[in-house]
Amino acid sequence: MTRQEKGLWATVIVLTACVLGMGAWMLFSGNLSQEASPPWKDGSQPVASIQDRAITEDEWVDELKKRYGREMLMTMLNRHAVALEAKAKDIDVMPAEVDAEIEVMSHSYGSKERFLSEMEDQLGITESELKTETMYRLLLEKIATSDVHIEEQQIDSYLEQYPDQFRPKKQLSLSMIEVASEDEAERVMDRLENGEAFADLAAQVSLDEYTREDGGQIGLVEEDDPFLPPALLDAASTLEPGDIAGPISLTDTYAIVYVKEIIEPQAPSEESVREAVRKQLALEQSVSLSELERQLREKYEARISAGTVTL
C-alpha cells in the first residue's frame, strides 16, 4: 500500500468513524432528553459559552447537521441496505476474513501492531472502528462480485502481465536534513560526526518545512516511494540501520539522510496472491461500490424526509 493509498484509506475510515460517531451521539442525546427532565426547554441547554454568549445544544446540533448530516444519513442508509441485500443473498463476512484483510493492509507498515498503533496514534482510529469499516467494505465487495466468475487462466494471465504488483517491498524509516548548498551539507555532516544529534540539527538548519519540526523525520516509506527524490532513496537503500549519508544532490538543494530502521517484508503465499487477483479482476468486472450502494438504496426504498437535511 503506497503512502497515497494509505492516506486515502485512512481518510475514508476517519470520515466514516466521525459520521457514525456523530450519529451515535445524536441518538444517545435524544434518548437522554426523553428520559431526563432538565430545567431547560428542549435544545436550549447551553453546551459552551464565550464571555456572555452561550452556545445552545440546538445551535450545536444544527451546525453538525449542516456539516455532516447528509453523510451520516447516507452512511446509515447504506449500512441498512447492504445488510438487507446480504441477508437476501445469504452472504456473510466472518471475523477471520476481517483479520486477514487487516493483516494485508498492515504489510506496508511492517507489522499489524505497528499499523494499528499508527492508525490510533496519528488518526484516532481504534481497532474496533477499523474492523467495523473493513467488515462493511468486504461485505459490499462480496455482494458486488457475487455473480462474477473468474477463470484460473485469467489469474495466470494477470500475474504474467504484472509480476511485481504483489511483490512485497522493503520499508525504510527515514529522516532528512535539507540545506541550500553542498558546502553547508558538508558542515552539517561534520557536526554530526562530532556528536550532534540529527534531530536537533534538522530542527535548526533544515529547509524542509514538512519534516523540520519533527527533527527531520520522514517516517516509514517504501523503497521506491514515488513522492521522495530518487537520489535520496538510492542513497538510503545502501545504508544499514543507524547509518547517515550525505551530501546528496537533489534538484536545487542538498540533503543528508538518516536510516533509523529497515523492515524486510514477508512474501505472501501463492494462494493469497491468487485470491487477491481473483477479487481485483471480479471487482473490475462489477459495478462500482458507490453505484452498488445507490442501487441498493433504491431497491430497498430508502427515503430521506423532506426538511431533515439538505441533499
In a domain, 155, yes or no: no
| Residues 144 and 175 reside in one and the same domain | no
Number of domains in the chain: 2
pTM beyond 0.75 = no
Rounded Cα gap, residues 112 and 108, in angstroms: 9
Q: How many CB atoms lie within 10 A of CB 175?
A: 21
In a domain, 165, yes or no: no
The CATH number covering residue 80 comes to: 1.10.4030
Whether residue 231 contacts residue 247, with contact meaning beta carbons closer than 8 Å, is answered with no
| Residues 224 and 132 reside in one and the same domain | no
- Identify the bridge partners of residue 54 per DSSP, sorted by sequence position: 49
Rounded Cα gap, residues 268 and 166, in angstroms: 8
The residue range of the domain holding 235 is 171-263
Rounded Cα gap, residues 173 and 168, in angstroms: 16
In a domain, 255, yes or no: yes
Residue-wise pLDDT tens for the chain (311 aa)? 444 444 444 445 544 555 555 454 444 444 444 444 454 555 578 889 888 899 888 888 888 888 888 888 889 999 999 999 999 999 999 999 999 888 888 876 767 888 888 888 877 889 999 999 999 999 999 999 999 999 999 999 999 999 888 887 888 999 999 999 999 999 999 999 999 999 999 999 999 988 999 999 998 888 888 889 999 999 999 999 999 998 999 989 999 999 999 988 777 788 888 999 999 999 999 999 999 999 999 999 988 875 655 44
